[in-house]
A and B are shown apart, each in its own frame.
Chain A
Amino acid sequence: MTDQASILIIDVNHARAAIIQDGLREAGHVHVRWLNETSNLLRHIADIDPDVIIIDLESPNRDVLEQMFQVSRLVKRPVAMFVDQSDATAMQDAMVAGVSAYVVDGLRKDRVKHILDMCILRFNVFSRLQDELHEAKTALADRKVIERAKGILMAAKSLSEQEAYVLMRKAAMDQKRRLAEIARAIVTAEGMLK
């Protein structure tokens, strides 16, 4: 083995795989490859022959990797799941983040730990980005529907913009619903009454 561990990332999510690859490269790992195959995975792994395999927990392919624990004609070197018994929270963190690591025999534990920590970090960054994107999209959609509902009320009841807004907000508070839900109901009703 050279001084640099070769790392294989198995992840069907292109964007996340890119974020992890970048992170590992920035941390000085130059031998990083990415695979998103769903068939004949073991053959591909045997060809690449990595020292460390990082896989996302959403992939059913994790069960394929389990086979490598046993002596297999397809795999050249013995593989084991990376389990740090001394640090149970680290393993929990990995699982909550949605990532798992497999290592070949003989690799130093602290080096793998460093790689896994980096991956956990990047997996969490990715989920946060996704959450933020989802929130931004929802906020944008909410704002649009509130504007439309305001317009409908203004026209139907000859209200000012401020009055229409106050009316909707009061309905939301009375019914303990979100303003956007009230707005959506108005838009839907208007569509049906047309």
Chain B
Amino acid sequence: MKNLRIGFIPLIDAAIPIAALECGFAEREGLEISLVRETSWANIRDKLVHGLFDASHMLAPLAVATSLGIGNAGVPLAVPFGLNANGNCITLASRLYRALEEVLGHPPQDPRQAARALKRIIDRRKLSGEPPITFGVVFPFSVHAIIVRHWLRLGGIDPYNDVQFQVVPPPFMVTNLSEGVIEGCCVGEPWNSRAVESGVGSIVVFGAEIARSAPDKVLALRDETVSAQGDAIHRLLKTYSQAARWCQDGDNHANLAHMLAQPQYLNVAPKTVMNALSGTLAINRTATRAMTDFLSFEGDNINRPDPRKARWLYAEIATGLRGTLAEDQAQKAASVFRPDIFDAATGNNSLPESADPIGLKFGPAFDSGDLQAYVDALTQVPPASDGR
């Protein structure tokens, strides 16, 4: 059988591809796999599109954007497996966080309170003619950017006019925060913890507090690979299913942390990985916060790609680009997520579909059948709405 070349970015959510190889699941399925570490999502996309990779760890919105030809030439991709939900944080530069505390008179207790306080700071800065706040996100098409926009809206902040966004690669996030190029960011671990440890920033929101099951990273491959190498892909997904269960099991987290920390993968201290796996993070110099579903690898339709999630991603991408929605594009987006391949590979077709594929905790309800209504409700800058 042909050797499968799979690209990944050194992040904790590359756990399933790494564990599938390291735990021997792939070997037992007779698969030969080379994991190739990359430095940028643009490299991942281009190497996948041009056939240098057979499959890859990828930002879920990037898989949709690539298939729709947004930001590139447009090559149809297939997503047969979701690799994780959540795991990101919104971190503010220390100075801005202190200003937030001053406005409130205490540390923010929940995302809405924090966003409302931020709104008052933004209004004050507008009046005094100070430059707008810039947020760093990891890629134009990322759940990170979507989460920040949702959070800002909670406080009545217009994400398109009141703040600016800038793409900052995760390894440069802390430097950009400390130099004041950005004043906030949304990024995965270990980068938030790095900002907290070095006194540069404080974590203000966990991504899971905004959306419970937003797709973060997925396994993506070219459409043509599905037909050309169907058997190998089926075996691969079987091993990923095993690896997902293994990664989710808390008893394996110490092993997983050591596995991911190795130089050829994340090249960090195992303790740093452990923080994110356990969902217990120092959010500033004095406080720690724990959340059980901070980062999930398995369960609740995380692995089985739900086309409704792809429709949500399309609606969010289109809104982010301030474009209009088109139903044919939405359908094209939905067809990128392939539960049929997942089911055929894992024999697991009896999963009950959750009523709400995204699990948004605030703001308008998401109805995959009426994207326009969702986007309309979303883009009305709210007088901060009630949580659901």
User: Interface on A for B, CB 8 Å cutoff?
Assistant: 38-40, 42, 57-67, 69-70, 73, 81, 83, 85, 88, 91-92, 95-96, 100
Contact = CB atoms under 8 A, between A and B. Distances in A.
Given A64-B169, A66-B42, 18 more contacts: A39-B175, A40-B179, A42-B166, A59-B39, A60-B170, A61-B40, A61-B172, A62-B42, A63-B41, A63-B139, A69-B71, A70-B71, A83-B72, A91-B50, A92-B50, A95-B43, A95-B46, A96-B52
A27 to B, nearest CB: 25
A83 B73 contact: yes
B50 A73 contact: no
B257 interface: no
Contact of B181 (A39, A59, A83): A39
Contacts of A95: 43, 46-47, 50, 52
Nearest to B52: A95
B387 to A, nearest CB: 31
A116 B93 CA distance: 40
Question: Top 3 A-B pairs ranked by shortest CB distance?
Answer: A60-B169, A62-B40, A62-B42
Interface string B153-175: 00000000000101111111001
A172 B40 CA distance: 43
Contacts of A69: 71-72, 140
Interface in B31-52: 39-43, 46-47, 50-52
Contacts of B175: 38-39
B39 A64 contact: no
Nearest to A89: B50
Which of A38, A63, A70 gathers the greatest number of chain B CB atoms within 10 Å?
A63
Nearest to B321: A70
Interface residues of B, number: 29
A92 B140 CA distance: 24
Contacts of A73: 164
B279 to A, nearest CB: 27
Nearest to A59: B39
Contacts of B295: none
A45 B175 CA distance: 19
A60 B172 contact: yes
A58 B50 CA distance: 17
22 contacts: A38-B172, A40-B176, A58-B39, A59-B40, A61-B169, A62-B39, A62-B42, A63-B41, A63-B42, A63-B139, A63-B167, A64-B167, A65-B42, A66-B139, A66-B167, A69-B71, A70-B321, A83-B72, A91-B46, A91-B50, A92-B51, A95-B43
Nearest to B62: A66
Contacts of B181: 39-40
B137 to A, nearest CB: 9
Which of B39, B42, B72 gathers the greatest number of chain A CB atoms within 10 Å?
B42
